[in-house]
Amino acid sequence: MRFAPILLLIFLRVWPVAATILQNGQPREDPYPGQQSPIKLDDSWRNYDAGVPEIAYKGRWDSQHISWWSAPGIKVEFSGNKLALSFGPSTSNGALVAYRIGSLDWRFSNVTADATYQFIGPDDFTDGIDTKSNVFEMRVTNWGIGVQLAGVSVAKDAYITKPTPYKRKVEIIGGSLAGGQYATYETLSSWSFLYGVGLGDAEFTITAYPGVCLADMQCYGGGVHGMTWWWNRASDPGARAHQFYGDNPPAFDNSAEQPADLVFIQMGGNDWRHPNEVPGEKFYQAYVDMVEEIHRVWPKAEIVLMSQWGPFQKVGTEYKSTIQYKDEIIRVYEYFKDLRWTFVHYLNTDGILQHNDINPKNHPTDVGHIKVASHLLQWTRLVLRWELKPTGEVQHGTLYWNDQEGY
- Residue 359, pLDDT score: 81
- Residue 400, pLDDT score: 46
- Residue 394, pLDDT score: 62
pTM of the prediction? 0.92
Range(s) of the chain covered by CATH 3.40.50.1110: 168-383
- Residue 393, pLDDT score: 60
Beta strands at 134-140 and 95-101: parallel, antiparallel or unpaired: antiparallel
- Residue 69, pLDDT score: 98
Helix H or strand E segment including 77: strand 67-78
**Other CB atoms within 10 Å distance of the CB of residue 247:** 9
Question: What pLDDT, in 10s, does the model give residues 297-321?
Answer: 999 999 999 999 988 899 999 999 9
Architecture in CATH of 32-161: Sandwich (2.60)
- Helix axis angle for 326-338 and 280-297, nearest 10°, is 40
Question: What pLDDT, in 10s, does the model give residues 40-62?
Answer: 999 999 999 999 999 999 999 99
Beta strands at 318-320 and 313-315: parallel, antiparallel or unpaired: antiparallel
Give pLDDT < 50 ranges for the chain.
1-16, 400-407
Fold exhibited by the domain 168-383: Rossmann fold (3.40.50)
